[in-house]
Amino acid sequence: MNKQQLYPSLKNLQSKGVVSVTLEHPAQFSAIPFEKVLDLYLKTKMEEVRRIQQSKDQILNDWQSIVIGMSDDSSEKFMVFEGKTRIFSRLQKMVQESKNELLAITSVTGLTQADDFGIFDLAQNHPFKSSIQFKCLVEAKDKNAEVIKKLIEETSGQVSIEARNPFLPLKNFPTLVIRDNEEILLFIKPLSEKTKVEKNDVCLWTDCKTIIGAFTTIFEELWRNSVDIDKQSPIFSRDYLVEKKDTIAQKLVEQKYDEKLTQAEHEVVILTSSQGLIELPRKQDIFKKLYDQGVLIKILAPVERENLGIAQLLSKFCAVRHVPANYVGVTIIDGQHLFQSQNYSLNEKKGAPLLFYSNSNDYVRKMLNTLEDTWNKAQEPSNVTLESITGPYGYNIFPFPKEIELSGEKRTSVQFKVLDIKPPGSITEQDILSKIITGKKHRITRSNSVNVMYASAGSAVIHPPEYFNLPRTLIHVNHIEKRSSLGEADALEVHLWMDTPKGASFVPMGGLGDNSKGVLHRKSMFAGTPFEKNYQLVKKDKLQVRVYGNTLFAGWTVPIRLDPWEHVLPPGCIIFEGQGNVKSSSVTVLNASGVKIDREQNWFDAFVTFMHPSSKYSGPGTDGLFARDLIVTMTPPQKTEGLPAKKPLS
């Protein structure tokens, strides 16, 4: 260090009592032994506490003398809690303030961590503990069920605590806690068996009744389709459980599977993974015969770009619907025979072996009810995918970059001219990351200044069921970084499929943004459409967009106007879960006004979960895109000295 840095630092340490100094010249500085520093620190803090305690009455009197009046801000909002200490402090407050019920979805590790932080002790000492219900959904396997039972036994004598194991895995669901339908604490990262609160975790809190109601409804559905952990059930006492290494027993179960499948008389229900769907055509000869015999075959699986063709092939003789990613395979034949595979890994390139068979009436019936409930809420894969709307290579800037055909309607004009495309494989992930790391802020000083946006983004086409009271919807979400030309922002756009004088098309309808410059910019982009009137500037606690790994979460606490049509998008949230391998691409286009737009991104196909007040919508990986690393550069037509500006494209 140079002297200008060194001596101020040493004097600062000396003033804190961490360093001693001699009076000689040149002076000698020495570090105080750590034990003495620690004692000094403790004494200092204890002295501060003593002073505050002595002055407490005077401080309160001074405060009361200057209070003008509490502001009554009763509007619904978001808050962000960062770090393990703050998150558990908020959780402790929720337990203390609970009056009726506390609902939680967590992992076994999360439960033990909560116990370490005294959450169960707070419940035991709660003044209304006899009237409060504590309900917890946790995915418990044989090896850790005893841990949960022990935690419950230690507290259940004084507190009403119930823990249940859902029939279907929770790994596609976030950790959450809901108190009395009044507040929710929501984690962005996906739930896993070892999920726990880390020191750098970020947690969202909201009192938005619509969002709380949506998650409460889902919790209640999962709760109904679950079994008490403290009771013996087929979850823990299998009818016929095969050891993973017992290949002979596995072959016997697989033979029994083919035998019962061939003998099916009424219905076959199959829940499988995305990889499992790819392997199902091996059974298509059996499926065809069953179809000819009038047997209904239902297949539930995560539908992605890689297996969309398989889903369309099987749809000729099976009914196929999309469900979120799962890690268990289940087949139920005629409501009597159940086959199950476990530990489906996302990295497996072949199907997990069949490990369990049951004909227990009670267990098979409960599982069938769960799958039927899932089936009724699942979506059929649509031929109208996100790529068919926005073009290949993950491009999703509006208006559309190419002619498209949707529902028999064809756009009559091309509003973009594609100048250059670098498809996946011609540009690397590191190329884009390097540009983001070294990128500088481009300030907008005049009308022809370059506008650069660094962001993460999600796009999804949603085919909502009738009870949503919405037409086909396109949603764009942006989490924009501070270095962007217009500054840091969260933004959400909504486009609806509508009849227009030029035919059916997606119409920009409205949205939310928390940056005034960004709101004006988007309104100008969609001038002359309903979007210009409906796009709202909101405070940051009304709109939150967060990114964790390959997951993007967006939540809003205010309704989104979509008039002049009689539609309103109520408060809610949408989750994008990136799937498969990252793809890197870039595209350069020229729009109708002569603005050149360069879009470079590392992106994933994404499953989309849209939380509606009364239910939830889960879209296949063909309908969503998550651009984890995104650079958008907009270059207006440049005026050259003595030459006219570039003529816009007609």
Which residue range is the domain that position 542 belongs to?
405-635
pTM for the predicted model, two decimal places: 0.78
Is residue 528 in a domain? yes
> With contact defined as beta carbons under 8 Å apart, do 562 and 534 qualify?
yes
Question: Same domain, yes or no, for 372 and 413?
Answer: no
Is residue 645 in a domain? no
Is residue 110 in a domain? yes
Is residue 579 in a domain? yes
Question: Residue 322, Cβ neighbours under 10 Å: how many?
Answer: 24
3-class secondary structure, 560: strand
Which residues pair with residue 178 across a beta bridge?
103, 184
Is residue 393 in a domain? no
Annotate 596-616 with DSSP letters as a single string: EEEEEEEEEEEEEEEEETTEE
Question: Same domain, yes or no, for 443 and 533?
Answer: yes
Whole-angstrom CA distances from 475 to 225, 510, 569, 610 are 31, 10, 11, 10
Q: Considering just the CA atoms, what is the radius of gyration of the chain in Å? A: 29
From 111, 208, 187, 117, select the one nearest 152 (Cα to Cα).
111
Is residue 161 in a domain? yes
3-class secondary structure, 606: strand
Question: Same domain, yes or no, for 268 and 412?
Answer: no
> What pLDDT, in 10s, does the model give residues 15-70?
888 888 887 778 888 998 898 888 888 888 888 888 888 888 888 888 877 766 55
**Beta strand 329-333 with 560-561: parallel, antiparallel or unpaired?**
unpaired
**Look-up: residue for tokens 């964790």?**
548
From 267, 295, 409, 283, select the one nearest 351 (Cα to Cα).
283
> With contact defined as beta carbons under 8 Å apart, do 183 and 199 qualify?
no
> With contact defined as beta carbons under 8 Å apart, do 571 and 558 qualify?
yes
Residue 251 and residue 244: Cα distance in Å, rounded?
11
> What pLDDT, in 10s, does the model give residues 168-198?
766 667 889 999 999 999 988 766 656 677 7
Question: What pLDDT score does 358 carry?
Answer: 84
Residue 506 and residue 531: Cα distance in Å, rounded?
12
Q: How many domains, the chain? A: 4
Question: Same domain, yes or no, for 164 and 38?
Answer: no
Question: Same domain, yes or no, for 326 and 186?
Answer: no
**Look-up: residue for tokens 């002073």?**
51
**Beta strand 183-190 with 202-206: parallel, antiparallel or unpaired?**
antiparallel
From 540, 545, 536, select the one nearest 510 (Cα to Cα).
536
Question: Same domain, yes or no, for 420 and 499?
Answer: yes
pLDDT at 251 over 60: yes
Question: What pLDDT score does 404 carry?
Answer: 33
Question: What pLDDT score does 476 carry?
Answer: 94
From 634, 615, 641, select the one nearest 218 (Cα to Cα).
615
At position 81, the amino acid (one-letter code) is F
Which residues pair with residue 53 across a beta bridge?
none
Question: Kind and range of the H or E element at 348?
Answer: none
Q: Which of 362, 377, 392 is where one domain is finished?
A: 377
Is residue 438 in a domain? yes
Question: Same domain, yes or no, for 533 and 631?
Answer: yes
Which residues pair with residue 240 across a beta bridge?
357
Question: Same domain, yes or no, for 355 and 442?
Answer: no
Q: In sequence order, which residues have a C-beta less than 8 Å from that of residue 44 and are 6 or more positions away?
A: none
At position 301, the amino acid (one-letter code) is A
Angle among Cα 105, 75, 508 to the nearest 5 degrees reads 85
Question: Same domain, yes or no, for 541 and 619?
Answer: yes
Residue 572 and residue 378: Cα distance in Å, rounded?
19
pLDDT at 403 over 80: no
Question: What pLDDT score does 393 carry?
Answer: 47
Residue 497 and residue 384: Cα distance in Å, rounded?
12
> What pLDDT, in 10s, does the model give residues 496-552?
988 878 778 888 999 999 999 999 999 988 888 899 999 999 999 999 999 988 899
> What pLDDT, in 10s, does the model give residues 80-126?
888 888 888 999 999 989 988 999 998 888 888 888 888 888 888 87
pLDDT at 360 over 70: yes
SS3 content of the chain, % helix, strand, coil (to 5): 30, 35, 35
From 579, 570, 513, select the one nearest 545 (Cα to Cα).
513
Helices and strands (DSSP H and E) totals, the chain: 16, 33
Annotate 194-261 with DSSP letters as a single string: T----TT-EEEEE--HHHHHHHHHHHHHHHHTEEETTS--TTTS-SEE--TT-HHHHHHHHHHHHHHH
Task: Indicate which CATH number applies to the domain containing 107.
Answer: 3.30.870.10
Question: Same domain, yes or no, for 364 and 409?
Answer: no
3-class secondary structure, 364: helix
Q: In sequence order, which residues have a C-beta less than 8 Å from that of residue 527 and are 6 or more positions away?
A: none
Is residue 414 in a domain? yes
Question: What pLDDT score does 172 carry?
Answer: 62
3-class secondary structure, 327: coil
Question: Same domain, yes or no, for 452 and 537?
Answer: yes
Question: What pLDDT score does 484 carry?
Answer: 94
Question: Same domain, yes or no, for 208 and 280?
Answer: no
Which residues pair with residue 269 across a beta bridge?
298, 332
